[in-house]
Amino acid sequence: DTGVSQDPRHKITKRGQNVTFRCDPISEHNRLYWYRQTLGQGPEFLTYFQNEAQLEKSRLLSDRFSAERPKGSFSTLEIQRTEQGDSAMYLCASSSTGVLSPLHFGNGTRLTVT
């Protein structure tokens, strides 16, 4: 178990630029989640994949956000035309489909939009 890895750990970008984050889940996990966390708050659900299918998107995920999980392996989260309000920690998690299947989180990508 190598854990969930996210890249990059930190990203500073100027308002209006596009950014893309990558998540590599635990290899045998078929569920993958993206969360966003701002200072002092708990993680907020953004979107969920079962294998390569994106099954749910939060209303927090505006049209500027898009997520993919080609071939049911790694996932990418892209934010287009970034805004200062997008500054947050973006967390990826994976889990199996068992009844007792806790989320395994990566250490996130910290995005700062200037």
Partner 1 sequence: LAKTTQPISMDSYEGQEVNITCSHNNIATNDYITWYQQFPSQGPRFIIQGYKTKVTNEVASLFIPADRKSSTLSLPRVSLSDTAVYYCLVGDSNDYKLSFGAGTTVTVRA
67 lies in the site for partner 1, by CB under 8 A: no
Lay out the site mask for partner 1 across 73-102 (x = CB under 8 A, - = otherwise). ----------------x-xxx---xxxxxx
Distance between first and last Cα of the chain: 36
Residue type, 86: D
Q: With respect to partner 1, which residue has the nearer C-beta, 62 or 107? A: 107
34 lies in the site for partner 1, by CB under 8 A: no
Check: CB of residue 106 under 8 Å from CB of residue 92: yes
Q: Give min distance, CB of 85 to partner 1, in A.
A: 19
Closest of 98, 114, 82, 89 to residue 18, by C-alpha: 82
Q: With respect to partner 1, which residue has the nearer C-beta, 17 or 68? A: 68
Size of the site for partner 1 (CB under 8 A): 31
Beta-carbon contacts of 97 under 8 Å, excluding residues fewer than 6 positions away, are 30, 31, 50
